[in-house]
Amino acid sequence: MKLKLHTQPEVPLEAESITPAVINKLKVKEVEKIKIFHGNREVNIADFFSVSNNKLELLELEGDMHKIKYIGANMFSGEIQIEGNVGAHLGSAMSGGFIKVNGNTGDWIAPEMSGGRMHITGNGGHCIACAYRGAAKGVTGGEIIIEGNVKNELGHAMAGATMVVGGKCGDFTGVNMISGTILTFGEMGTRTGAGMKRGSIICMNNLEILPTFSYDCSYNPIYLKLLFKYLIENTKIKIEDKFFDGSFDRWSGDAIEMNRGELLVYSA
């Protein structure tokens, strides 16, 4: 099925029902009548999208959807391809399937994600894959690849996912991280890994190391060769040859927590 935005909403649309499991089993006329929220008013999908049958299992979305929230929420299978920007809470609580965004995303994407894959070719906002305020854990699984930049609090309290950022990161990347992997290629903001218990934050750029991290050694982690190879095969992130055979400084922390986390920082 293909949904093309024809009217820009004045206030955010909450479109939890735009998932392959809901839409792909319906006919065009039925999809047009699916209810979504425009602010606090219930409207039909057809009020904002033109619907057509692409005769594929793939759910295609097109248009500038920066005001549309919760696309792919609770998704557990299937595939969504989005051409254009998309709003907050994309893939909220998703547990499977694949979302590809050829554009930028808003804040708070992939909260409570436990599985599946998300690939964003543009930039992301604040609090990507971040735990909700008051929650002990954030995302618990899955994979998020963002080829561009992201803002603050990427992977706050994440517990088991893999995240890759091709560009810059804001402050507090991996704050309170419990486990999982964050790999970044651009400049880092301040306080990376603050309060992390376990997990890995891998940076290709120098960064401010908090005093509660202790230096271990300089070495070439074989694991990164596998990760880089995977990214080369599946993304357009440019990975320089020097990273494959380069040396990485390993720092353990955060000592204010379990001290089982690691920062791997490319050194030469």
Partner 1 sequence: MKINKTEIIDTYAEAFSMWSAKVIITAETDHWAQGAAQAMTGFATSVIGCKCEAGIDQKLSKKETPDGRPGYSVLIFTIDKESLGKRLIERIGQCVMTCPTTACFSGYETNDSVNVGGALRYFGDGYQIGKKIQNERYWRIPVFDGEFIIQENFGVKQSVGGGNFYILGSNSKSCINALTESIEKMKKVPGVILPFPNGAVRSGSKIGSKYKDLIASTNHIYCPTIKGVVKDSAVPENVNTCYEIVIDGMNEECVSEAMKIGINTVAQDGVIQITAGNFGGKLGQYKFFLKDLIK
Residues at the contact surface with partner 1, assessed by CB under 8 A: 143, 160, 162, 181, 198, 200, 219-223, 225-227, 229-230, 244, 260, 262
Shortest CB 55 distance to partner 1, Å: 28
Helix or strand or coil: residue 180? strand
Residue 49: Cβ-neighbour burial (10 angstroms; 0-12, 13-18, 19+): buried
Instruction: Compare residues 132 and 223 and give the one whose CB is closer to partner 1.
Output: 223
Contact 137, 117 (CB under 8 A): no
Instruction: Compare residues 43 and 227 and give the one whose CB is closer to partner 1.
Output: 227
Parallel, antiparallel, or unpaired for β 2-5 and 59-62?
Answer: parallel
Instruction: Compare residues 22 and 227 and give the one whose CB is closer to partner 1.
Output: 227
Instruction: Compare residues 42 and 233 and give the one whose CB is closer to partner 1.
Output: 233
Shortest CB 74 distance to partner 1, Å: 21
47: preceding bond cis by omega (within 30 degrees): no
Shortest CB 27 distance to partner 1, Å: 34
Dmax of the chain from CA atoms?
A: 62
Instruction: Compare residues 132 and 244 and give the one whose CB is closer to partner 1.
Output: 244
Q: Residue 30: in which H helix or E strand, if any?
A: helix 28-32
Instruction: Compare residues 44 and 252 and give the one whose CB is closer to partner 1.
Output: 252
Closest CA to 180 of 126, 129, 243: 129
Contact 146, 166 (CB under 8 A): yes
Parallel, antiparallel, or unpaired for β 200-203 and 261-266?
Answer: parallel
- Measure CA of the first residue to CA of the last residue in the chain; give whole Å: 48
Shortest CB 177 distance to partner 1, Å: 13
Shortest CB 223 distance to partner 1, Å: 5
Shortest CB 143 distance to partner 1, Å: 7
